[in-house]
Amino acid sequence: MLKVADIHTFYGNIEALKGVSIEISEGEIITLIGANGAGKSTTLMSICGITPPRSGEITFMDQPITNMKPDKIVSLGICQVPEGRRIFPYLTVTENLDMGAFLRKDKSEIKKDMEYIFELFPILAERRHQAGGTLSGGEQQMLAISRALMARPRLLLMDEPSLGLAPLIVKQIFEIIKKINTENNTTIFLVEQNANLALQVAHRGYVMENGRIVLSDEAGRLLSNEDIRKAYLGESI
């Protein structure tokens, strides 16, 4: 579905991605783990056209998207839940969800999707007329995920959905990620510092260090890899 082939992405003279290659098949949950500053967010932003790579190629459903504008990439079915959520604080929950569907014209389907989201997150249904900025951190993360789902993405990019949330809420969010993948057949590319949880929901994982992919494997194998446990799962073996 998505093929990232040897991309190099720069901020001015700083080479943040030094030849990154990743492949994602339809229906998978793929996670990208790595330390602070490894280049995880830059990888997501390169895919969605916000910081396009200087060289290398990205293809989605066999179509090159390397230098496509972000809104065109969204219209092809790639949608991002950004780090730090970035919901619209002064718009209500419903208005935030409407914003997620702004490229769509199928009104009755939009209504159905909103009902599905309110089933997925009953708390958002309760708070549908409340301004986004008054929600708790966990609820804002639910809203950010829901807003992205309103675009009916084929591929959902998620940047650190667990950031700053209490453990119980994080558990709920990860259960929802699994549900979106299985019930909705949405392919998910998940960037996470919480490697333990990410590898528990993912099918496969990539490990990134200093702008390079240093390892990729089935998630279960990464979870039981001693080097990975030591470096990313906070265990001293």
Query: Does position 39 bind ligand ATP by CB under 6 A?
Result: yes
Of 83 and 98, nearer to ligand ATP (C-beta) is 83
Using the rule CB under 6 A, is 42 a contact of ligand ATP? yes
Is position 47 an interface residue for ligand ATP (rule: CB under 6 A)? no
Does 198 engage in binding with ligand ATP (CB under 6 A)?
no
Task: Check binding of 34 to ligand ATP (CB under 6 A).
Answer: yes
**How many of the chain's residues bind ligand ATP (CB under 6 A)?**
12
Cβ distance to ligand ATP smaller for residue 39 or 161? 39
Nearest distance in Å: CB 208, ligand ATP: 7
Binding mask 146-185 for ligand ATP (x = CB under 6 A): ----------------------------------------
Q: How far is residue 115 CA from its own chain's centroid? A: 22
Query: How far is residue 140's CA from residue 87's CA, in Å, rounded to a whole number?
Result: 7
**Residue 80 · residue 70 · CB < 8 Å:** no
CA distances from 194 to 7, 56, 63, 81, 197 (A): 25, 29, 32, 16, 6
Residue 13 within binding range of ligand ATP, rule CB under 6 A: no
Cα 43 from Cα 167, distance rounded (Å): 26
Question: Which pair of tokens denotes residue 121?
Answer: 């997150």
Minimum CB separation of residue 207 from ligand ATP in Å reads 11
DSSP state of 132: G
- The Cα–Cα gap between 181 and 37 comes to 28
H-helix or E-strand spanning residue 163? none
Please say which residue, 114 or 198, places its beta carbon nearer to ligand ATP.
198
Which residues sit at the interface with ligand ATP, rule CB under 6 A?
11, 14, 16, 34, 36-42, 193
